[in-house]
Amino acid sequence: AKKAGRGQYRFFDQSLNLRDVEQFHLEQSFSEALHNREFVLHFQPQVALDSLQVCGFEALVRWQHPRFGLVYPDRFVPLAESTGFIVPLGLEVVRLACEQIVAWREQGLPPQVVAVNASPVQLAQPDFSERVLAILAQHGVGPDRFDLEITETSILDSTALAHLEALRAAGMSLSLDDFGTGYSGLAHLEAVPVSKLKIDRSLVAKICNRHDDSPIVSSTIILAKRMNLSVVAEGVETREQVVHLTVAGCDIAQGYHFSRPMPAAEVPAFLAQFGRA
């Protein structure tokens, strides 16, 4: 079966492959999976480049599937978006992040800020901000423990913008994700209540060594600072990139150089060890 558009399948195509069959099964089992609590979050540290301290974690969803094992979001988030399943899934992610913040607190960890991804499909729902704030309140988690990562698509939509204003007013910080992959540039950002800019890893990957400067990254950082935005670099994999980003004035780095996303249970040991290193 070949994908014939958003969430539709043509079953008369000869090129039936395993991946399509898998996608079909994934779509069928979404609601069951939610009910069985098969979605889990992994956490990737964000490191402040001035102090080299962990300043937060990005929560990244995975599907612990009984038959397919650990399934990564690239394999099911697009499908969840086209079927609308991302709406309940997104709320489940907020719930899981709250549960984790509370659990870490109970384990005696210093309070952690968790960044959660929100799809434009979620932000187009009329009750998005209301429901997110209700979940936080239910768990006794302050909105200032949360950072919402949104993409460019959402800053061009009036419903989404109203939600962003409401969340910002409640004390949540907002980050513009994947910056550099869209089309709008920084000019569009003036009307948007984001406080952070995440430079996409495709741009960060262009920083290869100390001598090979990436003018796009450095000028993005300069402009962002001029607009009072903090800059987060994602996909940081090498020491050279850390050095370059630090010199260029980037505030926060995230990537395999520091750590891959890890299960919540590994976070306390990571924090203890990272602080000492």
The footprint of ligand C2E (CB under 6 A) covers 44, 60-61, 72-74, 77, 86, 90, 93, 117-119, 177-178, 201, 234-237, 255-256, 261
Nearest of 238, 190, 198 to residue 221 by alpha carbon: 198
The partner in contact with residue 175, picked from ligand C2E, Ca ion, none with C-beta cut-offs of 5 to 8 angstroms by kind, is: none
CB atoms within 10 A of CB 209: 11
The partner in contact with residue 196, picked from Ca ion, ligand C2E, none with C-beta cut-offs of 5 to 8 angstroms by kind, is: none
8 Å CB contact between 123 and 94: no
- Matching residue, tokens 């290869």: 208
8 Å CB contact between 235 and 214: no
Would you call 6 helix, strand, or coil by DSSP? coil
Site string for Ca ion, 96-135 (x = CB under 5 A): ---------------------x------------------
Residue type, 34: L
Cα–Cα distance between 179 and 186 in angstroms, integer? 9
Q: Which CB atom, from 1 or from 96, has the smaller least distance to ligand C2E?
A: 96
**Count of residues binding Ca ion (CB under 5 A)?**
5
Q: Which CB atom, from 10 or from 37, has the smaller least distance to ligand C2E?
A: 37
Residue number of the CB closest to ligand C2E reads 255
The partner in contact with residue 180, picked from ligand C2E, Ca ion, none with C-beta cut-offs of 5 to 8 angstroms by kind, is: none
Q: Are strands 230-233 and 114-117 parallel, antiparallel or unpaired?
A: unpaired
- Scan residues 245-274 and list those touching Ca ion (CB under 5 A): none
Closest CB 151 distance from ligand C2E, rounded Å: 8
Q: Which CB atom, from 56 or from 143, has the smaller least distance to Ca ion?
A: 56
Residue type, 94: V
Q: Where are the beta strands (DSSP E) in the chain?
A: 2-3, 9-10, 39-48, 53-65, 69-71, 114-117, 146-150, 173-179, 196-199, 230-233, 252-253, 262-263
Closest CB 263 distance from ligand C2E, rounded Å: 13
Closest CB 109 distance from ligand C2E, rounded Å: 21
- Matching residue, tokens 């990272």: 274
- CA atoms in the 13 A half-sphere facing the CB of 169: 8
Q: Which CB atom, from 152 or from 234, has the smaller least distance to Ca ion?
A: 234
The partner in contact with residue 256, picked from Ca ion, ligand C2E, none with C-beta cut-offs of 5 to 8 angstroms by kind, is: ligand C2E
Closest CB 196 distance from Ca ion, rounded Å: 11
- Scan residues 132-191 and list those touching Ca ion (CB under 5 A): 149, 177-178
The partner in contact with residue 119, picked from ligand C2E, Ca ion, none with C-beta cut-offs of 5 to 8 angstroms by kind, is: ligand C2E
Would you call 262 helix, strand, or coil by DSSP? strand
Closest CB 13 distance from ligand C2E, rounded Å: 27
Cα–Cα distance between 196 and 198 in angstroms, integer? 7
The partner in contact with residue 261, picked from ligand C2E, Ca ion, none with C-beta cut-offs of 5 to 8 angstroms by kind, is: ligand C2E
Number of H helices, E strands in the chain: 11, 12
Residues making contact with Ca ion (CB under 5 A): 117, 149, 177-178, 234
